[in-house]
Structures are given as C-alpha cells and as structure tokens.
Amino acid sequence: MSDACERIRQSYRSSGVPERQTDIESGGTWVPCRDGIKLRTFWYRPKGGGPFPVIVQRSCYPQAEDGYRTHGQELAKRGYGYLCQFCRGTGGSEGVWEPNVNEADDGADFIRWVNALSWVSDIGYWGCSYLANTGWAITGVLPEKVRSMLLSHYGTERFTSAYQSGMFRHDILTAWAMGNAGRPIDADYQASCLYRPHNRVDEAMWGGPLPWYREWVSNPHRSDPYWQKGYWGFLSGAPERLKVPVCIVEGWYDHHLGSAMETYHRLSLQAAAHSRLIIGCWNHGFGPCAEGKVQNNLQNDEVHQMLDWFEETLWRKGKPPRRVDWYVIGADAWRHFPAYPTGMDEMNLYLSSSGALLPQAPALSGENHYVYDPQNPIFTHGAESLFATGREVGSLRQPEPGWRKDVLSFQSAPLAEERTILGRIRVELYVKSDAPDTAFTARLMEVTPDGEAYYLRGSIVTLAHEEPYTPGTVRKVSMDLWDVAYCLHKGERLRLDIASSNFPEYAVHSNQAGLWSEQTETVPAHQTVLSGGDTPSRVILPVETPALPRKESC
C-alpha cells in the first residue's frame, strides 16, 4: 500500500463516520458515449444489492487510480457506492484526449447511465480540480437521483484563471499544458514561459503545435469570442443551470479561488439557498501555507469535508441552510456567515513620496521612480495564483523593504487596534511610463512588530490593456485583489510593494504594445508612481473595526 493510500485510509478512520458494512464488492465496465466511444469505469459498493447512496467522479488522471480505488473501498465500508470513470483518451478509455472538449456530453451520458442503475438510490457528485470541472460540465442535465455536489478547487470562469488584466498566468496554464499535452514534454519550464514569441513555444520547444494552448495565449480579453463561446462559454453558465445544493470548497491560496468566487456569486437561487462555501488557509493540494502563523484549526482534510457534506445531503437526505465558512488567517479560527459577508468598514491607506502609507492623502503631489527591465524580472515568492511552483505559494516571509532597485515599498504606522480584513482589497494607483504599454504589480504584506513581513495579497495591471496609452501621460489604474479573511493585530503594520514583474505567476511584460504572445523583443521602461494631491494613490481594505467576536469552529 502506498503512503498516499494509507493517508486516505487514515482520513476515513479519523472522520467520525463509522464503518457500516463488513463485506464489499467491486467491478468494472465500459460505459458507452453517444458517439459509440466507450469509457472505462470501475465501482465499489456494499454487498447486498442495495439500493445505496452513491458518490461518483470523472477523472483524467490515471496516475491517481490507486487513490480512487482506496476511496471506493472506504466509502463502500461506510454504506456508499462509488463509481469512477476515466475521461476520453485517459486511463484506458477509448477516444482521443482533448482537455475539456468532451466533458459535457460524456459526463451527461455517464450520469444518466448511473441514474438508471438499480442499485443506486441517490447520487452525489464529488470532484477536485479537473474532477470538479467534469462536475460543473453537467449541471444542466442532472437526473432526478442527483441530490448534491461537492466541487472543490475549481471555478467556471476560466478566463479568470488564465488572465489578470491581460497578463497570462504561466504557472497555472503553461505548466498544465506541458504536463497534459498528450505527449511527453521535457523542455525547461521557465525557459518555455520566457520564450518569445510565446505563441510559437509549442513548435519551438514542445515538439509540435498545441492548438488549444495557442488559443489560451492569443485571447487576453474577457470579451474575446473564444471565452464567450464553445466550452468556456458553456461552462460559464453552469452555476445558473445548477438546481441542487453544492458545497464549493476553496483555499485562500489556491489558484482557482478567483474563478470559484465568481462561480459562487452566480449560483441559481434554487441552488444557493442550500449551498455552502468553505474557504480555508491551504493551497491547491490542501496543504497549509501561512508561514509564521499558528495553524492548529485548519480543518483541511478533503475526506472529512466530503463525508460531512454527503452524510448530510445523501445519507440523512437533508437540505442544509445556506452558509459561508471562512478561515481567518492570523486568528486560527473559522467565521460562519449566512451568506457572503458584507457591510465592512472601508480603511484607506494613501501612498506618499516618502514611502509611508497614511490614513489621509498628502496635500501635495509626489513621485517615486524606478526602471523596469524585462530581462531581469522579479521571481514570485508568496502568491495566491501559483501551481507548478508550489514552494512559492502562500503567505510567505518577504524580503526587506525596497529589496531591489525596481521595487518601491510603502509602509503604514503600527495599527492602534486589531482589524480583520473580510473581502476584496483594491489598490488604486496613479502612474506613468515612457513605454507604450507596461505592467505594474502590487503586493500587500503584514509586518509584525519585530519587522518580519508576510505576503497577504497581490495583483497586476497593464496600462494599455483596455485602451491605448500615450507614453508620459498620467493614468489611474485599479487592481482588485482576491478575497481574503486576515486578522491584523494591534501593533502590526501594512506594507505595499509596487513593481512591474512577478514571474512566473504572470508573464513578463515586454514593455511593447500589442498582443503579448506575439512580442519578440523587450525594452526597459522608466516607471513613475504618483501620490498625494490630485493623484491620491491608495489601498482600500474592507475591515471590521474593531474586530467582531469570532465563533470558533464546531
């Protein structure tokens, strides 16, 4: 037995859900699709004929089959059936593997087949990451036996997972493409990300064209038809089509968080009334990722989350009330809300040319300058939108202020009282550049009384993404940072670092105008951040002041 399988078994043993059966059985079959392709499927169930509540999954990862089988065995011992199907062209299933293309039709055929099985009483759909994608793909065709879904670490707004203000998220999609191309790719990952023109990296370094990757890197606007039509347009409508309860599980430092939050806000009223949103302090693999913090109450066991939900919705056939559960970083506590928390106070911190963050904007305008050279990018350390470079994801300890000449640091005075950030932070900057297009990054940090800084949230923006930019002119840019729940203690400070690169979380901007993936050359850019007067650059934080009493997790 592998260590991974033993960890899964231990999660079931510690879940509090008892073993209800001593005899289980298993088998395999081929489930036909509407075009005649057959997909490999295996199952586990208690002996006795049923009917049983059944948990189903669809996966494209054959390397995880031992783990799926372990789940099937453990679920069957607890009175559930389990069915797992491999996506077309993977895990022995017939057909050609094309990511995403066939999941709606193949998934619909599969769930209808499961619904017709005599030993199935009720169905719960469970999936994480791509396995959640295969769940979202079928929300409009769920048959009557499907009672609920648990879909973690995925969102239906693919554009949000691919781009931020025209800047491509390499560490998610370039890395995923290299690992799921349908052929081995042994090219250097970072060299692949930096290759120009990037829309030719597949032929230059990966052994041949990947048309679907070229589509990703050639459509940097949400309004581009590529994201509005086809599978991504179809997937975007999945939350409105869902009519059964769903438990959406996310991590504050999972790269799908931004998309998942949009998904949650777009649930149909029927689904939302009995759905749950759980966000904890973990990464895509449910690992803790807040350096220097007490994290004794993470509740980051995926099996426990799954069993809690399906015990309520399948085993007891309940309809849970709508609830939002957020783990507060720095407090090691969970907050429970009846819906998305609103009504926060607005805390403003204004940039000053002296490097301070002030509660009021300086009366006089000021400027800070640096030179950004794309040939010498800043490498990501601490982030919410990383996947391949997993060691750098999370709330990590940061370098000292102004640690590079192309980094501007602004720091607040110590906080006079505890404040809890709940929601989405925004950064507004007044900037100018001598380039026709360029990027600006914002990285917000918590600074402890002993001077240690920890990453909190960040983002990026490009000057000419929405409209052309005239070099040398002042432009106001806004960055929405992803939602977070973060406790700031009395005596701590906030620090904001402004720069122009953050690689490989985002592509390195060339300082040239035009489609980023067609750029062949880079040039340095002279950057200016303005503050005070008529250019009041600021950070806007949604906070509780003082922090309200917290409910500990149940």
Q: What is the reported pLDDT for 87?
A: 98
Q: What is the reported pLDDT for 1?
A: 62
Cβ density class 30-59: b for 16+ within 10 Å, e for less: ebebeeebebbbbbbbbeeebebbbbbbbb
CA angle (16 as vertex; 13, 21 as ends), nearest 5: 65
- Please return the burial class of 365, using the count of CB atoms within 10 Å of its CB with bins 0-12, 13-18 and 19+: middle
Pull the structure tokens for residue 330: 């720095």
The pTM is what?
0.95
Pull the structure tokens for residue 5: 């399988």
pLDDT confidence band for 553 (50 / 70 / 90): very low
Mean pLDDT of 31-56: 96
Give residue for tokens 């777009």: 266
CB 129 within 8 A of CB 426: no
Using CA atoms, how far apart are residues 163 and 173, in angstroms rounded to an integer?
10
Using CA atoms, how far apart are residues 465 and 516, in angstroms rounded to an integer?
10
Which among 451, 447, 455, 430 is positioned nearest to 361, based on CA atoms?
Answer: 430
Q: What is the reported pLDDT for 2?
A: 87
For the cut 60, the answer to whether the pLDDT of residue 554 exceeds it is no
Using CA atoms, how far apart are residues 14 and 48, in angstroms rounded to an integer?
26
pLDDT top residue among 271 and 552:
271
Using CA atoms, how far apart are residues 369 and 363, in angstroms rounded to an integer?
20
- Of 281-295, 430-444, 533-547, where does mean pLDDT reach its minimum? 533-547
Query: Tens digits of per-residue pLDDT, 382-423?
Result: 999 999 999 999 999 999 999 999 999 999 999 999 999 999
> In the chain, what's the furthest Cα-to-Cα distance?
80
Query: What is the CB-side half-sphere exposure of residue 38 using CA atoms within 13 A?
Result: 8
pLDDT confidence band for 548 (50 / 70 / 90): very low
Q: What is the reported pLDDT for 550?
A: 46
Using CA atoms, how far apart are residues 497 and 410, in angstroms rounded to an integer?
6
Using CA atoms, how far apart are residues 251 and 413, in angstroms rounded to an integer?
30
Distances in Å between the alpha carbon of 38 and those of 92, 150, 395, 476?
10, 26, 45, 55
Pull the structure tokens for residue 373: 């050279």
For the cut 90, the answer to whether the pLDDT of residue 78 exceeds it is yes
Q: What is the reported pLDDT for 545?
A: 66
Query: Tens digits of per-residue pLDDT, 223-233?
Result: 999 999 999 99
Helix then strand then coil, in percent of the chain rounded to 5, is 25, 30, 45
pLDDT above 90 as % of the chain: 96
Which among 330, 348, 332 is positioned nearest to 496, based on CA atoms?
Answer: 348
Q: What is the reported pLDDT for 49?
A: 83
Distances in Å between the alpha carbon of 327 and those of 109, 386, 388, 402?
38, 20, 25, 31
Using CA atoms, how far apart are residues 166 and 502, in angstroms rounded to an integer?
14
- Please return the burial class of 243, using the count of CB atoms within 10 Å of its CB with bins 0-12, 13-18 and 19+: middle
Dihedral pair phi/psi, residue 109, rounded to 5°: -65, -40
Is there a cis peptide before residue 51, judged by omega within 30 degrees of 0? yes
Using CA atoms, how far apart are residues 415 and 544, in angstroms rounded to an integer?
13
CB 494 within 8 A of CB 488: yes
DSSP β-bridge partners for residue 225? none
CA angle (542 as vertex; 537, 545 as ends), nearest 5: 115
Mean pLDDT of 538-551: 74
Which domains, and CATH codes, for the chain?
3-152+237-288+294-328 (3.40.50.1820), 159-217 (no CATH), 345-544 (2.60.120.260)
Pull the structure tokens for residue 215: 């589509």
CA dihedral 429, 430, 431, 432 (to 10 degrees): 160
Cβ neighbours, 10 Å, residue 111: 24
Give residue for tokens 């640091």: 409
Q: Please, which residues have CB within 8 angstroms of residue 458's CB and are 6 or more apart in sequence?
A: 382, 383, 384, 441, 442, 443, 444, 481, 502
Query: Tens digits of per-residue pLDDT, 115-155?
Result: 999 999 999 999 999 999 999 999 999 999 999 999 999 99
